[in-house]
Amino acid sequence: MGRIIRGLAAGGNLRVIAADTTDVVEEARLRHGLSPTATAALGRALTGALLLAQLLLKTPKERLALRFEGDGPLGGMIVEAAPDGTVRGYVKNPQADLPIRSDGKLDVGGLVGRGVLQVDRTLPSGEVYSSRVELRSGEVAEDLAYYLFQSEQTPAALLLGVRLEAGGRVDRAGGVAVQVLPGAKEEEIARLERNLVGVSVSALLKEKGLEGAVEALLEGLGFEPTDLRALGYGEGGIPARFRCRCTREKALEALVFFTPDEREEMIVEDGGAEVVCHWCGARYHFQPEEIRSLVAEVRCPDCGTLWLYPKEDGTVARIEGETCRCGRKVELPPPPGPGQDGGH
């Protein structure tokens, strides 16, 4: 299982968040069947989301989503993380890949491309705050640091890395975020910059482990780890794990987006239906009796908000607007055609 640790350096002038996400990224690779470069891209995004969730979110019930809308062959990438160390994510074209760069590194920037990065923060109330910035390079760490500076007025150094074995398996993955607080001195910032030049965080993790890597990156700045046991975590820090919020019930509800005739066609032609979660790749198989039990009700697959539902007076209520309170685009099934009553 991955881990997240937190702490301070430079006498409290630098805030530090670090994560070992090797197991998290390897699970994502296996779940989605990712190519090597897609593994590196999604791995960096998953790690970055976990670090930003620690930096930006105020309460345990908040969530952070990163949407990379680039013009590269990856086709886009979405990840979602929470302060408890859970994260999930996917790419639109998991087998997209590019040749190794001339310096021997994976071409993540070329795979993601240029475009827009959207960051959504969902509050416990369901209210969503969104910010959009330019994707400057597609390299993920640089783009997230640019977002922090532009939208959050938070100057920070961000290192993200994914190291693969020859067969594609994730050898090491992780990242470090160092936020420069208002009291930081010029010589402390200069020392931090010198420490970070040319550093591979994945190589440091392999050589020194999580705590050792952080101490090396903050050499001369006096890293002081935060005791997270007061927050209910063990001595190792916050567990980091790939966890999706999909359920069999939510997957069945997704079939409401199909018309009654289309659902009956699934039963006749295939003997049932299969729903695949795009977040985690989980597959749910449904028998004819389960499909026929559906009622005319549509909920948001992410937060459960009712989008369409029958009222007691026989009318149908629909959500207002094109966006759910969690930020997801509202997608309603077409109205019943002639001869269809929309119910069961």
d(Cα 141, Cα 159) in Å, to the nearest integer?
Answer: 6
- Burial classification of residue 224, based on how many CB atoms lie within 10 Å of its CB (0-12 exposed, 13-18 middle, 19 or more buried): middle
Closest CA to 116 of 146, 161, 154, 160: 146
Does 30 score more than 80 pLDDT? yes
Higher pLDDT, 89 or 330: 89
Residues 6+ apart with CB under 8 A from 24: 2, 43, 46, 47, 50, 87, 173, 240, 241, 242
The radius of gyration of the chain from alpha carbons, rounded to an integer in Å, stands at 22
pLDDT confidence of residue 53: 97
Class of the CATH-defined domain 2-242: alpha beta
DSSP for 224-236, please give it. Answer: EE--GGGGT-BTT
Sorting pLDDT into bands at 50, 70 and 90, what band is 331?
confident
pLDDT confidence of residue 315: 64
Query: What is the share, in percent, of the chain residues with pLDDT greater than 90?
Result: 74
pLDDT confidence of residue 305: 81
Sorting pLDDT into bands at 50, 70 and 90, what band is 304?
confident
Fold of 248-318: CBS domain Like (3.90.1280)
Structure tokens at 261: 């005739």
Sorting pLDDT into bands at 50, 70 and 90, what band is 313?
low
Residues 6+ apart with CB under 8 A from 228: 5, 6, 237, 238
Question: Each residue of 53-105: pLDDT tens digit?
Answer: 999 999 999 999 999 999 999 999 999 999 999 999 999 999 999 999 999 99
Sorting pLDDT into bands at 50, 70 and 90, what band is 249?
confident
Structure tokens at 305: 């908000």
Does 2 score more than 50 pLDDT? yes
Q: What is the pTM of this model?
A: 0.85
d(Cα 274, Cα 41) in Å, to the nearest integer?
Answer: 28
- 195: number of CA atoms within 13 Å, CB side? 23
pLDDT confidence of residue 311: 66
d(Cα 18, Cα 240) in Å, to the nearest integer?
Answer: 11
pLDDT confidence of residue 259: 73
Q: Which residue has the tokens 């030049």?
A: 197
Mean pLDDT of 332-343: 53
Does 196 score more than 70 pLDDT? yes
Closest CA to 161 of 199, 118, 195: 199
Alpha helical stretches, state H, the chain: 22-32, 36-56, 108-112, 141-151, 186-196, 201-217, 248-254, 260-270, 288-292
State the DSSP code for 319.
-
Domain with CATH 3.90.1280.10 in the chain: 248-318
Mean pLDDT of 215-222: 96
pLDDT confidence of residue 253: 77
Question: Each residue of 15-27: pLDDT tens digit?
Answer: 999 999 999 999 9
Domain with CATH 3.55.30.10 in the chain: 2-242
Structure tokens at 336: 């019943």
pLDDT confidence of residue 339: 43
Per the CB < 8 A criterion, the answer to whether 6 and 28 are in contact is: no
Cβ neighbours, 10 Å, residue 108: 27
Question: 285 in helix, strand or coil?
Answer: strand
Does 333 score more than 80 pLDDT? no
d(Cα 65, Cα 67) in Å, to the nearest integer?
Answer: 7
Question: Each residue of 115-155: pLDDT tens digit?
Answer: 999 999 999 888 889 999 999 999 999 999 999 999 999 99
d(Cα 327, Cα 325) in Å, to the nearest integer?
Answer: 5
Q: What is the mean pLDDT of the chain?
A: 91
Buried b (16+ CB within 10 A) or exposed e, 137-153: bbbbbebbbbbbeebee
Single-letter code of the amino acid located at 118 = Q
d(Cα 65, Cα 61) in Å, to the nearest integer?
Answer: 13
Residues 6+ apart with CB under 8 A from 155: 148, 149, 179, 180
pLDDT confidence of residue 231: 81
Question: Each residue of 152-183: pLDDT tens digit?
Answer: 999 999 999 999 999 999 999 999 999 999 99
